[in-house]
Amino acid sequence: MDVSGRRVAVIGAGVAGLGAALFLADGGHEVTVVEQDVMPGIGDGDEAFTAWERRSVPQWRFAHSFSARSRGILEARAPQVLAHLKADGIEMFNALTSFLPAEAQRPEDAAFTAVLSRRPAFELALRRSVEADSRIRLVTPARAEGLLLSSEGRPRVEGVRLTGGATLAADIVLDCGGRRSPVTGWLASAGVDVPADRQACEFTYYSRYLRATGDGPVTSGFPRADLGYVICWTFPGDHGTYGVAIGGPPWDKEFKVLRHNWAWERLAGAVPAIAGWVDPVTGGVPVQDVQVMAGLTNQRRHFVVDGVPLTAGLLVLGDALCTTNPFFGWGASIALTHAAAAADTLARRGEDIPALTAAYYDSVEAEAASLYRSASTMDRLRSYRWRGETVPDADVDAAEEEDLITRGLIPAATKDPDLLRALMRRMALLEPVETLFDDPVVRAKAEAARAQTQAGAVTMGPSREEALALLAAAP
Ligand SMILES: Cc1cc2nc3c(=O)[nH]c(=O)nc-3n(C[C@H](O)[C@H](O)[C@H](O)COP(=O)(O)OP(=O)(O)OC[C@H]3O[C@@H](n4cnc5c(N)ncnc54)[C@H](O)[C@@H]3O)c2cc1C
């Protein structure tokens, strides 16, 4: 083993855990991953969608998109994952160049290439890569049920306790247990309280995958429509599938009927940009019933307080550290970013475990703070709009920036490749989300475009009253 090699125990084989295992194995570390969910024998990504139950990952069959940042990290650190995706027939797609004429494209636009996949097929490629890597030990199905903690001075995590009494000693433990990770509860029982910022997304997700019939709209444009009371949007999939989702306010009880297939189909079919996507002739046929997820929250946990990590030897990654409204499609990219940060941190030689722990959080905290702040702000602004409330003083600047994006940048981006790049860099997390208007040229062009755009809502579908009339009677 390389002299910098550490014994690393990873709780959870989701996106963060599998990514971290691959990146760390390359760094010469001895990696053991513990995963509680059972995985059946699976042929390909299409079968993974139906046959692979992930009881611990409730969003498993919800529409997901995997951003260009995810693809870029995998290409740089674990290209075998992209090879598995390719062998499974899963395509890469460059949303930027698909909009630009050839003469406006630049070589660096390749960075905008993303993966067209559902979550099970994406995770299957990660999982197959881990299974094929003899340097990684995968212990599954097995459940971590506690931490091995020493508490001389600041608590130090020294491994993991498994159900049945086995233990796994480690120099470093990675918590990749997802949004419902039990680790914070274990720490609380040991007297270590982990502070958290939380804000409800106020967004209920009604999602469905369809399989394209004939030449359905699998990669054509991926429209979205904000109706002012709900949002409809579309996702690329794999094996001829694509997703369509409707996001609505949890407080608006009248829209809860969208959990029924008939209601979901009626509303989606009444939105011009989406109607073709849910039509069985021009679009596709559903491969699942409507999947509903409510109670979503933006959450950021603080494992560093007053500049000092709460424990040494515990690195928290992915959703366990920070979750944002899935509407923004950032979660998998952030999980892989944390995995890369953990690998880079442990590549530092000659530093002790407390120093490595602090270095890991130093490398991920600023972005976690920024993403939490941005997602929470965008969710608040949407709630004010949907509730018809006045924007409070504290959010006036953010509302002005959002207005500049929706009435200035987005309309202008359809005609200006540089603005389109700026917008898509932000959406794909190719640059920090809060720096969009730091470039004075982007700001000036967006302001000029906004000056030409009429204020007021653009009609993208039925009014709320028309929608409620459509949803009033079950067939
Ligand atoms: C409705 C919805 C839609 C989403 N859409 C998108 C999208 O379009 N794009 C995007 O990038 N992200 C999306 N996300 C977010 C994305 O799914 C998550 O960010 C991502 O799964 C985080 O990966 P993770 O590895 O941190 O956690 P998870 O994927 O949740 O993995 C956690 C793993 O830990 C295991 N585990 C937990 N506890 C234990 C234990 N005690 N012992 C052993 N194993 C354990 C679990 O079994 C699981 O395998 C969406 C989320 C939701 C809710």
Same structural domain, 427 and 444: yes
Same structural domain, 21 and 98: yes
Residue 416 domain boundaries: 391-451
**Do 385 and 43 touch, CB atoms closer than 8 A?**
no
Domain assignment present for residue 456? The answer is: no
Same structural domain, 338 and 223: no
Count CB-CB contacts under 10 A for residue 43: 10
Same structural domain, 96 and 165: yes
Q: Ligand 1 center to residue 319 CA distance, Å?
A: 6
Same structural domain, 19 and 143: yes
Same structural domain, 137 and 27: yes
Question: For 201-260, how does the pLDDT look when each residue is reduced to its tens digit (9 = 90+)?
Answer: 999 999 999 999 876 555 567 888 999 999 999 998 999 999 999 999 999 999 999 999
Q: Ligand 1 center to residue 334 CA distance, Å?
A: 11
56 lines ligand 1 (CB under 6 A): yes
In 52-181, which ranges are continuous DSSP H helix? Answer: 68-77, 79-87, 95-99, 119-131
400 pLDDT exceeds 70? yes
Among 33, 62, 296, 364, name the best residue to mutate to test ligand 1's pocket (greatest count of ligand atoms within 8 A of Cβ).
Answer: 62
161 lines ligand 1 (CB under 6 A): no
**Domain boundary at 246, 266, 295, which?**
295
Q: Ligand 1 center to residue 58 CA distance, Å?
A: 8
For the CA of 123, the closest atom of ligand 1 is 29
Same structural domain, 302 and 212: no
For the CA of 320, the closest atom of ligand 1 is 26
1 pLDDT exceeds 70? no
Domain assignment present for residue 458? The answer is: no
For the CA of 37, the closest atom of ligand 1 is 47
Count of domains forming the chain = 3
366 is written with which tokens?
């600023």
Same structural domain, 248 and 281: yes
SS (H, E, C) 164-232: CCCEEECCEEEECCCCCCCHHHHHHHCCCCCCEEEEECCCEEEEEEEEECCCCCCCCCCCEEECCCCEE
Domain assignment present for residue 154? The answer is: yes
Question: For 12-36, how does the pLDDT look when each residue is reduced to its tens digit (9 = 90+)?
Answer: 999 999 999 999 999 999 999 999 9
Q: Whose CA is nearest to atom 41 of ligand 1?
A: 144
Domain of 180, CATH number, reads 3.50.50.60
4 — pLDDT class (breaks 50, 70, 90)? low
* pLDDT at residue number 219: 53
Neighbouring residues of 124: CB distance < 8 A, sequence distance ≥ 6: 42, 44, 45, 48, 52, 84, 88
Domain assignment present for residue 212? The answer is: yes
Same structural domain, 228 and 190: no
Same structural domain, 88 and 222: no
* pLDDT at residue number 3: 47
Same structural domain, 122 and 38: yes
Q: 30-34 and 136-139: which strand pairing?
A: parallel
Question: For 254-299, how does the pLDDT look when each residue is reduced to its tens digit (9 = 90+)?
Answer: 999 999 999 999 999 999 999 999 999 889 999 999 999 999 999 9
**Domain boundary at 374, 402, 426, which?**
374
Domain of 248, CATH number, reads 3.30.9
**Domain boundary at 260, 275, 295, which?**
295
For 469, counting Cβ atoms within 10 Å of its Cβ (0-12 exposed, 13-18 middle, 19+ buried), the class is: exposed
Could you give the dihedral angle defined by the CA atoms of residues 327, 37, 91 and 417, in that order, rounded to the nearest 10 degrees?
30
Question: How many residues are listed for the chain in this entry?
Answer: 475
- Name the residue among 54, 338, 302 with its Cα closest to residue 174: 338
- Name the residue among 352, 345, 330, 353 with its Cα closest to residue 429: 330
